[in-house]
Chain A
Amino acid sequence: QTVVTQEPSFSVSPGGTVILTCGLSSGSVSPSYYPSWYQQTPGQAPRTLIYTTSTRSSGVPDRFSGSILGNKAALTITGAQADDESDYYCVLYMSSGIWVFGGGTKLTVL
Chain B
Amino acid sequence: QVQLQESGPGLVKPSETLSLTCTVSGYSISSYYWGWIRQPPGKGLEWIGSIHHSGSTYYNPSLKSRVTISVDTSKNQFSLKVNSVTAADTAVYYCARFYLDRGVITTWGQGTLVTVSS
Chain A residues within 8 Å of B, Cβ to Cβ:
1, 33-36, 38, 40, 45-48, 51-52, 55, 57, 89, 91-93, 95-104
Contact = CB atoms under 8 A, between A and B. Distances in A.
Contact of B103 (A45, A51, A102): A51
Contacts, number: 69
Interface string B52-63: 000000101110
Q: Which 10 A-B pairs have the closest CB atoms?
A: A34-B103, A97-B58, A93-B103, A51-B104, A99-B47, A45-B108, A104-B44, A101-B45, A103-B44, A36-B104
Interface stretch (B16-24, B70-78, B94-102): B94-102
Interface in B66-93: none
Nearest to A89: B45
B103 A36 contact: yes
B25 interface: no
Given A34-B103, A91-B105, 18 more contacts: A33-B103, A34-B104, A36-B103, A36-B105, A38-B45, A45-B94, A45-B109, A45-B111, A48-B107, A51-B104, A52-B104, A89-B45, A91-B103, A93-B103, A97-B50, A98-B47, A98-B61, A99-B105
